[in-house]
Amino acid sequence: MAKANNFYSEILEANRLLTESNEKLGLFESALAYNRNILHIKDSIFTIEKSLAETKTADNIQTKFMKDEIGRQEAKIEELNQSKNRTEITAILTAAFLIVISILAISLYRNNQIKLKTNDLLHTKNNELQAARDAAVMAMEAKTNFLSTVSHELRTPLYAVTGLTHLLLEENPSENQKEHLKSLKFSGDYLLNFINDILQINKIDADKLEALQIDFNLKKILSEVINSLHQSAKANKTKIVLEFDEDIPSHLLGDPLKLSQVFINLIGNGIKFTKGGQVTVIAKLAKKVEENLTIYFEIKDNGIGIDKERQLTIFDSFEQGSIQINREYGGTGLGLTIVKSLLGLFGSKIGLKSEIGKGSSFFFELDLKSKDDLIDDIPFEITEVEYDFAGLHILVVEDNKINQVITKKMLNKKEITCDIANNGLEAVAMVRKTDYDCILMDIHMPGISGEEATIEIRKFNRLVPIIALTAISLDDSLESFYAAGCNDVVTKPFKPEVFYQKIGENIFDVKKKIEA
Ligand code: ADP
């Protein structure tokens, strides 16, 4: 059974038992044969075990080789995996990059589109605004030109009203007539101031004014303004006191005409609203760095004062203290507006301190430049000079017939004789022939203007005083009259006192200077 089933250990055991039993039985040949069987079987088993061991070894070697191979393959796979990862990352990054770039490009494109649209919109708005601005500028220009023309046209008849009233008042009117004439004069003067103020504001609004840099003497300017207001101060029994800091250099650079206007308005108001009191004009050197000066100005009075509420508005156009004040003191409500605008032109701002019943103080600082300081001391004195006009011979250059009559009458009143030239050319010819004491030159005339006629006259006569009489219009500039050779300018319509004063100053004071 063991043989049939190849059970070697049972076969071996059976052969070993047979060997032992045959040996004990003395059957040595059989015992040897069974022993040989044992050896044979053992050999076979050895061979089998050996081949099994070899196979095992070979298997082991193969397994090891395969393990190694698997390891190598795994390493390769790992490597491949890694490189695959890298490629993937690169691919992802590239994709992300491309997406970002595309988003950027899209947003740039959209931005651009929006920009273009906004630009278009801005362009349209800009055009609209420009058109609106042009329209506003044109409307403003139309307004200023209209105002300028209207006030200009008003001046000629006004000149007749004020001039004739003055003449009538001097021709011994009856008491009754005197009252009416005084009212007429008051109304005429009021209209005259009003028109001049409107023209001035008109000029400021039209930006036709600019601050000049002219050589001037501040003390002289202040003295002249105070002198010109002396009459009204006297009528109000008010004293004008000038406190002038002598440290202020006598030669300054600035715009004396506009400065005078500021002072005339402020000192004029001080006098107007102060009865039996005092108006003090202060000019003080506040700072001096080389030729750069800051001068502090104050015009204070002890008159009626201005209440707190009104202090905020009185610098606005047509604003006055109150209806009562206007009734009692008159005025147009434009004076302080002009002052504020003119000071604005100099980069300065006006301040105000006032208490009702106690008085008012208007103050501001001005930055001016000093010129090389020459000793030119002008004493401050209120001069009320009575000139003796009798015997003077003057040339009146004027195209308007009514004005000719009035001017002639006003001159005759002071025993001045005069010739009349109807236009510029006639005037030049007459000055060549006759030696006049003075020429009153209208500026706006048909043919050559007064300015051109003055230039012609100055070519052969440098001495005769020429006073320009002009209704200053929008485009006129006082500076150009002086540049043409005029000695002085009187703005039309003028007050008779100013008219005589200017003639006297220019004939006698200039003569005095030339003689000296
Ligand atoms: P007006 O021509 O009416 O004087 P202004 O613009 O010069 O116009 O002044 C405006 C108002 O300010 C005046 O009506 C007056 O009520 C007030 N005012 C100006 N200056 C003084 C002053 N020195 N004292 C009192 N009130 C003043």
CB 471 within 8 A of CB 459: no
Co-location of 409 and 368 in the same domain: no
Domain finish residue from 320, 351, 384: 384
Name the phi and psi angles at 262, rounded to 5: -60, -50
**Which residues are near ligand 1 (CB < 6 Å)?**
265, 269-270, 273, 301, 303-306, 314, 320-321, 325, 331-337, 360
Q: Candidates 240, 273, 299: which one to mutate for ligand 1, based on the most atoms within 8 Å of Cβ?
A: 273
Which residue's CA is minimally distant from atom 17 of ligand 1? 321
Co-location of 358 and 222 in the same domain: yes
Q: Is the pTM of this model over 0.75?
A: no
Spell out where 255-400 has E strands.
278-289, 292-301, 351-355, 359-370, 393-397
Name the phi and psi angles at 388, rounded to 5: -100, 105
Rounded average pLDDT over 397-404 = 88
Closest CA to 369 of 174, 238, 218: 218
Range of the domain at 265: 214-384
Q: Distance from the CA of 331 to the center of ligand 1, in angstroms?
A: 8
Q: Distance from the CA of 302 to the center of ligand 1, in angstroms?
A: 14
Domain finish residue from 354, 384, 414: 384
Q: Distance from the CA of 328 to the center of ligand 1, in angstroms?
A: 12
Position 513 confidence tier, pLDDT thresholds 50, 70, 90: low
pLDDT, tens only, 187-224: 887 787 778 777 777 777 766 677 778 888 999 889 88
Which residue's CA is minimally distant from atom 21 of ligand 1? 269
Give the span between the Cα atoms of 224 and 382, in whole angstroms: 9
Q: Candidates 193, 263, 306: which one to mutate for ligand 1, based on the most atoms within 8 Å of Cβ?
A: 306
- Judge residue 345's burial from the number of C-beta atoms within 10 Å of its C-beta, 0-12 exposed, 13-18 middle, 19 or more buried: middle
DSSP string, 350-389: -EEEEETTTEEEEEEEEEEEEPP-----------------
The answer to whether residue 101 is domain-embedded is: no
Q: For residue 193, which atom of ligand 1 is closest to its CA?
A: 2
CB 239 within 8 A of CB 279: yes
Which residue's CA is minimally distant from atom 16 of ligand 1? 321
- How many of the other CB atoms lie within 10 Å of CB of 432? 11
Q: Distance from the CA of 301 to the center of ligand 1, in angstroms?
A: 12
Q: Distance from the CA of 99 to the center of ligand 1, in angstroms?
A: 75
Q: For residue 359, which atom of ligand 1 is closest to its CA?
A: 24
Q: For residue 338, which atom of ligand 1 is closest to its CA?
A: 6
pLDDT, tens only, 435-457: 999 999 998 888 888 999 999 99
The answer to whether residue 45 is domain-embedded is: no
Q: Distance from the CA of 224 to the center of ligand 1, in angstroms?
A: 22
Inform me whether the pLDDT recorded for 490 exceeds 60.
Answer: yes
Co-location of 486 and 476 in the same domain: yes
Q: Distance from the CA of 314 to the center of ligand 1, in angstroms?
A: 7
Give the span between the Cα atoms of 369 and 212, in whole angstroms: 12
Position 329 confidence tier, pLDDT thresholds 50, 70, 90: confident
Co-location of 315 and 299 in the same domain: yes
pLDDT of 185: 81
Q: Distance from the CA of 204 to the center of ligand 1, in angstroms?
A: 20
pLDDT of 58: 82
Rounded average pLDDT over 359-382 = 74
CATH number at residue 397: 3.40.50.2300
Q: Candidates 236, 261, 269, 339: which one to mutate for ligand 1, based on the most atoms within 8 Å of Cβ?
A: 269
The answer to whether residue 64 is domain-embedded is: no
pLDDT of 287: 92
The answer to whether residue 26 is domain-embedded is: no
Mean pLDDT computed over every residue of the chain: 85
Q: Distance from the CA of 413 to the center of ligand 1, in angstroms?
A: 35
Which residue's CA is minimally distant from atom 15 of ligand 1? 321
- Alpha-carbon torsion, ordered 264, 270, 273, 279, to 10 deg: -140
Q: Distance from the CA of 339 to the center of ligand 1, in angstroms?
A: 11
Inform me whether the pLDDT recorded for 372 exceeds 70.
Answer: no
β-bridge pairing 239-244 and 278-289: parallel
Q: Distance from the CA of 269 to the center of ligand 1, in angstroms?
A: 6
pLDDT, tens only, 38-60: 888 888 778 777 878 887 888 88
**Please, how many CA atoms are within 13 Å of residue 482, restricted to the half-sphere of its CB?**
7
DSSP string, 124-180: HHHHHHHHHHHHHHHHHHHHHHHHHHHHHHHHHHHHHHHHHHHHHHTS---HHHHHH
Rounded average pLDDT over 104-108 = 91
Co-location of 397 and 328 in the same domain: no
Which residue's CA is minimally distant from atom 20 of ligand 1? 269
Co-location of 318 and 425 in the same domain: no
pLDDT of 515: 60
Which residue's CA is minimally distant from atom 14 of ligand 1? 320
Inform me whether the pLDDT recorded for 397 exceeds 90.
Answer: yes
Which residue's CA is minimally distant from atom 19 of ligand 1? 269
The answer to whether residue 138 is domain-embedded is: no
Cβ-Cβ contacts under 8 Å for 159 (sequence gap 6 or more) = 402, 403, 406, 492, 493
Q: Candidates 298, 304, 310, 314: which one to mutate for ligand 1, based on the most atoms within 8 Å of Cβ?
A: 314
The total number of structural domains that make up the chain: 2
Cβ-Cβ contacts under 8 Å for 343 (sequence gap 6 or more) = 262, 349, 350, 364, 366
Inform me whether the pLDDT recorded for 30 exceeds 90.
Answer: no
Q: Distance from the CA of 442 to the center of ligand 1, in angstroms?
A: 33
β-bridge pairing 466-470 and 488-491: parallel
The answer to whether residue 80 is domain-embedded is: no
Co-location of 344 and 406 in the same domain: no
DSSP string, 32-60: HHHHHHHHHHHHHHHHHHHHHHHHHHHHH
- How many of the other CB atoms lie within 10 Å of CB of 193? 17
The answer to whether residue 133 is domain-embedded is: no
- Tokens of residue 330, six digits: 């008159």
- Tokens of residue 250, six digits: 């006598």
Three-class SS of residue 9? helix
C-alpha pair distances (Å), 408 with each of 129, 167, 403: 55, 11, 8
Give the span between the Cα atoms of 269 and 247, in whole angstroms: 28
In the block, residue with structure tokens 């209208």? 442
Q: Distance from the CA of 354 to the center of ligand 1, in angstroms?
A: 12
Co-location of 311 and 455 in the same domain: no
The answer to whether residue 74 is domain-embedded is: no
pLDDT of 493: 65
Q: For residue 319, which atom of ligand 1 is closest to its CA?
A: 10
- Judge residue 397's burial from the number of C-beta atoms within 10 Å of its C-beta, 0-12 exposed, 13-18 middle, 19 or more buried: buried
Tell how many helices (H) and how many strands (E) occur in the chain.
16, 12
Give the span between the Cα atoms of 219 and 419, in whole angstroms: 37
- Rounded to a whole number of angstroms, the distance between the first and last alpha carbons of the chain is 177
